[in-house]
Amino acid sequence: MLAALDDHGPLSQADIGRRVGLDRNDVNGILNRLEAAARVQREVDPANRRRNIVALTDDGRRYLAQIQHHAELVQDELLGALDAAERRQLQALLAKLLDGHGPQPA
């Protein structure tokens, strides 16, 4: 969710759920924890008072940077035996795999 907000700017809770593929109840629970930790802030959407707009805070950006740094360290350790071209190929294959398993129609 932090990365989605960082990539796309402030979003409604429903938009966040669609972007990360989570149910709105799950989104709400996660946002409650992020908001309690001052990593996001929610404000009522002035265009539609029934929905909230969620924005990343400065603390949320710092936390996201920490998470990304740790992920890069783990990735470097895990993929250390692969050269740069092999890493790109693996990433492309994983992206293709994920694209093939998107949300299924109900």
pLDDT, one tens digit per residue, over 35-54 is 999 999 999 988 888 889 99
* Per-residue pLDDT, 103: 56
Residue 81 confidence (pLDDT) above 50: yes
Residue 105 confidence (pLDDT) above 80: no
Residue 106 confidence (pLDDT) above 60: no
CA angle 28–102–63, rounded 5-degree value: 45
Residue 70 confidence (pLDDT) above 90: yes
High-pLDDT (> 90) share of the chain, %: 77
Distance of alpha carbon 40 from alpha carbon 1, whole angstroms: 10
